[in-house]
């Protein structure tokens, strides 16, 4: 082991680390106050109570259109004993909101006047009672009344009350100031970068912008320091200067792990003390909590999801405490995992999942667990927290999930599981752009056979499939009969598509077909077992009498056509089997193998539902077909057809 490497000597549980954090930093009351105009105060926290300067309304006002009278003169009036009133003497015409004339205390609505005898005379046939249809002075707000206590968060609703009470500016707490210092020699500023000039090993710096907006979302303000290389002295100078300034919290982004060039721990130790290094959470384990000159300083992990989880578990609650606000708890619902999920003992895992309501239950499909994949949180509908004493989750066993989206959007998600195809992205976007824009498509890629199994388990509304029957050349029908014999199915064609070999531009290895995959010097990337593409490959290999074990890379698997294309683009492999549109999207060459049928397998119980009918309508639309054809390698000749079997 490199002697310069850090070691997690005393890792803490999340509960322990948070307890230490709040024991070390009692920041309530440290913020100063500033005066702001009331319309500009939305989202700010009051530093002092707000009390009304005058009443609202500050006069007796008519609440209806009609005539203002003294209620006393109407007593005894009835249909058999009507009373005539003289306008300008006994009664006064008045409109809603106007000041009540002197010596009047009630308003008779215009529609309750039984007869208008002339411009000067009206007749009533029912009595009125005092203050009927009148807004009395101070009905809403009374001068000196407490409108909002200190530490109250101003909402748009509050603006009306404050202004109506004669308060035009309020004293609010200054926003906590956070300095974000991005570090890492591999980082490139996206504002200055040209994507085509990025070199292997270089990474666009995005974490500081994500963290900055998270700071703003919980009531703080941030300053982004210029990016720093992995140089401990430069990082130390920046941190030291920050502790001498008016920043309340400092975040060093990157360099918190155990590598020899992870300098956050060293810098914090040199200038102050490390309180926590390493927390038993995943993602987010390398997080550091330190103290320098009484100020909290965090070493935030460089992986995007780790950075977000670390912020939300430690920095956000600290900002909330500075503003005397309770942490907002995410809404939770009980969900059922679609499969067994293994988790590591001793680590609390924040598992990102896609959610959708299928029948009477909400099903949860895990997303990839990589802390470096920002899309695992942007695509997630919720997070399941697996406790550190649990080895995993059983399928179909209810478990709580924290929602990242409104429950309504989850209820309106069409859940599709199975084979990956690029047209699903087009379909998803077209659904959101259509007249039923509240619908979304939640897709998970587990292969065609995996999609049929998901239907069998009842955890999706439909499956995408392109399973080739090697006996008769048909697609999907024989597999549906075999694996779903007791479920009534509607089979709808989505597209016909070109499947073939994806190779680097110019085809430098001179690959002509599947027969070349076993050649020396050819590295292949496969699709996962039970996928339609894998079944096609195995069928063709058998036809050519090629043993799979003779193909270099046959054991390497990817779960989508785009992942196969990216592997070829990166140069890590020479060839992969996939669809033409994936090759075209990344400007790769393509060697056609077969035109295949990609269908949607839909249980009849869902086929007649409104959401699926909207899906079918969208598939049959000219806009969808036009966008699909523009991708290349597709035919929409049979799109939308129901296949009989």
Give the residue among 422, 434, 366, 402 at the shortest CA–CA distance from 613: 434
pLDDT at 406 over 90: yes
Residues 103, 248 share a domain? no
Please report the pLDDT score of residue 195 as a whole number: 79
Count of structural domains, the chain: 4
Judge whether 384 lies within some domain.
no
The residue out of 125, 155, 173 marking a domain boundary is 173
Please report the pLDDT score of residue 633 as a whole number: 95
Span 207-218, mean pLDDT?
Answer: 97
Segment 39-82, tens digit of pLDDT = 999 999 999 999 999 999 999 999 999 999 999 999 999 999 99
The residue out of 135, 156, 187 marking a domain boundary is 135
Q: What is the DSSP letter of 403?
A: E
Given a contact cutoff of 8 angstroms between Cβ atoms, the answer to whether 22 and 60 are in contact is: no
* Average pLDDT in the chain: 94
Please report the pLDDT score of residue 194 as a whole number: 80
In this prediction, residue 436 has a pLDDT band, given cuts at 50, 70 and 90, of confident
Judge whether 250 lies within some domain.
yes
322 by DSSP, 3-state: which? helix
pLDDT at 128 over 60: yes
Residue 178 makes CB contacts below 8 A (sequence gap 6+) with 212, 215, 220, 221, 222, 223, 247, 248, 249, 250, 251, 315, 319
Residues 144, 115 share a domain? no
Residues 290, 221 share a domain? yes
Based on its alpha-carbon atoms, the radius of gyration of the chain, rounded to whole angstroms, reads 34
Centroid of chain to Cα 226: 28
Judge whether 558 lies within some domain.
yes
Residue 618 makes CB contacts below 8 A (sequence gap 6+) with 427, 430, 431, 434, 624
Judge whether 356 lies within some domain.
no
C-alpha 554/C-alpha 518 separation (Å) is 10
In this prediction, residue 7 has a pLDDT band, given cuts at 50, 70 and 90, of low
Give the residue among 304, 308, 228 at the shortest CA–CA distance from 263: 228
Residues 235, 317 share a domain? yes
Residues 168, 207 share a domain? no
In Å, how far are 58, 166, 537 from 62, measured between CA atoms?
13, 21, 82
Per cent of the chain over pLDDT 90 is 87
C-alpha 320/C-alpha 173 separation (Å) is 12
The residue out of 150, 173, 196 marking a domain boundary is 173
Residues 81, 46 share a domain? no
Q: How many Cα atoms are found within 13 Å in the side-chain-facing hemisphere of 273?
A: 5
Structure tokens at 135: 């807004």
Span 157-177, mean pLDDT?
Answer: 97
Please report the pLDDT score of residue 1 as a whole number: 38
Given a contact cutoff of 8 angstroms between Cβ atoms, the answer to whether 442 and 424 are in contact is: no
Judge whether 578 lies within some domain.
yes
Please report the pLDDT score of residue 258 as a whole number: 59
Residues 592, 495 share a domain? yes
Structure tokens at 609: 């539902």
- Burial label for 301, CB within 10 Å (0-12, 13-18, 19+), is buried
Given a contact cutoff of 8 angstroms between Cβ atoms, the answer to whether 559 and 479 are in contact is: no
Ranges of H-type helices in 143-225 = 156-164, 207-217
Residues 614, 488 share a domain? yes
Please report the pLDDT score of residue 2 as a whole number: 44
Given a contact cutoff of 8 angstroms between Cβ atoms, the answer to whether 632 and 580 are in contact is: yes
In Å, how far are 159, 273, 379, 429, 601 from 444, measured between CA atoms?
45, 45, 11, 16, 14
Domain holding 562: CATH number? 3.40.190.10
What are the beta bridge partners of residue 36?
170
Please report the pLDDT score of residue 196 as a whole number: 77
Residues 603, 552 share a domain? yes
Strands 332-337 and 361-366: parallel
Residues 229, 160 share a domain? no
Given a contact cutoff of 8 angstroms between Cβ atoms, the answer to whether 496 and 634 are in contact is: yes
Judge whether 419 lies within some domain.
no
Segment 350-367, tens digit of pLDDT = 999 999 999 999 999 999
C-alpha 384/C-alpha 367 separation (Å) is 11
Span 220-227, mean pLDDT?
Answer: 97
Domain holding 256: CATH number? 3.40.980.10
Structure tokens at 623: 């806009």
Residues 180, 169 share a domain? no
Domain extent for 113: 61-135
Structure tokens at 591: 């060697």
Judge whether 369 lies within some domain.
no
Given a contact cutoff of 8 angstroms between Cβ atoms, the answer to whether 447 and 388 are in contact is: no
Residues 261, 283 share a domain? yes
Segment 562-610, tens digit of pLDDT = 999 999 999 999 999 999 999 999 999 999 999 999 999 999 999 999 9
The whole-model pTM stands at: 0.87
pLDDT at 626 over 90: yes
What are the beta bridge partners of residue 204?
188
Please report the pLDDT score of residue 3 as a whole number: 43
The four Cα atoms 97, 101, 105, 111 give a dihedral, to 10 degrees, of -60
In this prediction, residue 534 has a pLDDT band, given cuts at 50, 70 and 90, of very high
Judge whether 158 lies within some domain.
yes
Domain holding 166: CATH number? 3.90.105.10
Given a contact cutoff of 8 angstroms between Cβ atoms, the answer to whether 149 and 49 are in contact is: yes
Domain holding 90: CATH number? 2.170.190.11
In this prediction, residue 262 has a pLDDT band, given cuts at 50, 70 and 90, of confident
pLDDT at 623 over 50: yes
């Amino acid at each position: 082991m490199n002697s310069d490497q850090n070691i997690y000597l005393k890792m803490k549980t999340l509960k322990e680390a948070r307890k230490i954090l709040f024991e070390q930093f009692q920041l309530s009351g440290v913020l100063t106050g500033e005066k702001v105009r009331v319309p500009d105060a939305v989202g700010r926290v009051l530093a002092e109570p707000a009390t009304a300067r005058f009443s609202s309304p500050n006069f007796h006002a008519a609440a209806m259109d009609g005539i203002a009278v003294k209620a006393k003169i109407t007593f005894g009036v009835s249909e058999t004993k009507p009373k005539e009133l003289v306008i300008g003497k006994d009664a006064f015409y008045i409109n809603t909101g106007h000041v009540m004339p002197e010596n009047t205390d009630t308003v008779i609505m215009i529609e309750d006047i039984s007869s208008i005898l002339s411009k000067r005379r009206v007749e009533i046939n029912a009595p009125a009672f005092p203050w009927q249809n009148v807004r009395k002075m101070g009905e809403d707000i009374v001068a000196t009344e407490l409108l909002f206590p200190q530490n109250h968060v101003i909402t748009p609703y509050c603006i009306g009350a404050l202004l109506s009470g004669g308060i035009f500016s309020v004293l609010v707490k200054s926003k906590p100031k956070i300095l974000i210092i991005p570090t890492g020699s591999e980082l490139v500023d996206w504002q200055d970068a040209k994507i085509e000039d990025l070199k292997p090993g270089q990474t666009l710096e995005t974490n500081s912008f994500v963290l900055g907006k998270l700071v703003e979302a919980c009531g703080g303000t941030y300053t982004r320091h210029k990016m720093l290389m992995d140089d401990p002295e430069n990082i130390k100078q920046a941190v030291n200067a920050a502790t001498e300034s008016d920043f309340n919290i400092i975040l060093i982004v990157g360099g918190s792990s155990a590598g020899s060039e992870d300098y956050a721990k060293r810098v914090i130790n040199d200038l102050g003390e490390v309180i926590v290094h390493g927390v038993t959470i995943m993602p987010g384990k390398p997080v550091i909590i330190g103290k320098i000159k009484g100020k909290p300083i965090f070493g935030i992990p460089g992986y995007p999801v780790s950075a977000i989880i670390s912020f939300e578990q430690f920095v956000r609650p600290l900002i909330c405490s500075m503003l005397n606000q309770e942490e907002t708890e995410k809404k939770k619902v009980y969900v059922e995992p679609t499969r067994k999920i293994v988790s590591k003992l001793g680590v609390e895992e924040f598992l990102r999942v896609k959610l959708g309501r299928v029948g009477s239950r909400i099903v949860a499909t895990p997303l990839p667990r990589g802390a470096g994949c920002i899309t695992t949180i942007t695509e997630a509908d919720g997070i399941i927290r697996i406790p550190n004493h649990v080895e995993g989750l059983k399928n179909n066993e209810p478990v709580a999930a924290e929602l990242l989206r409104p429950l309504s959007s989850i209820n309106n998600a069409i859940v599709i599981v199975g084979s990956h195809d690029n047209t699903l992205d087009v379909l998803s976007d077209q659904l959101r752009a259509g007249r039923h824009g509240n619908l979304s498509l939640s897709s998970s890629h587990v292969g065609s056979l995996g999609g049929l199994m998901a239907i069998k388990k009842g955890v999706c509304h439909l499956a995408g499939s392109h399973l080739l029957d090697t006996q008769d050349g048909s697609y999907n029908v024989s597999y549906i009969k075999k694996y779903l014999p007791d479920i009534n199915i509607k089979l709808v064609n989505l597209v016909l598509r070109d499947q073939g070999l994806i190779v680097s531009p110019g085809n430098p290895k001179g690959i002509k077909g599947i027969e070349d995959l076993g050649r020396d010097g050819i590295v292949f990337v496969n699709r996962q077992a039970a996928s339609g593409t894998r079944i096609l490959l195995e069928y063709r290999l058998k036809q050519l009498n090629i043993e799979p074990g003779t193909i270099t890379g046959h054991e390497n698997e990817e779960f989508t056509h785009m992942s196969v294309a990216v592997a070829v683009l990166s140069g890590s492999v020479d060839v992969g089997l996939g669809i033409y549109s994936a090759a075209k999207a990344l400007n790769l060459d393509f060697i056609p193998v077969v035109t295949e049928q990609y269908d949607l397998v839909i249980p009849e119980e869902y086929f007649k539902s409104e959401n699926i009918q909207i899906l079918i309508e969208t598939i049959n639309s000219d806009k969808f077909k036009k966008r699909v054809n523009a991708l290349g390698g597709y035919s929409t000749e049979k799109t939308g057809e129901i296949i009989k079997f």
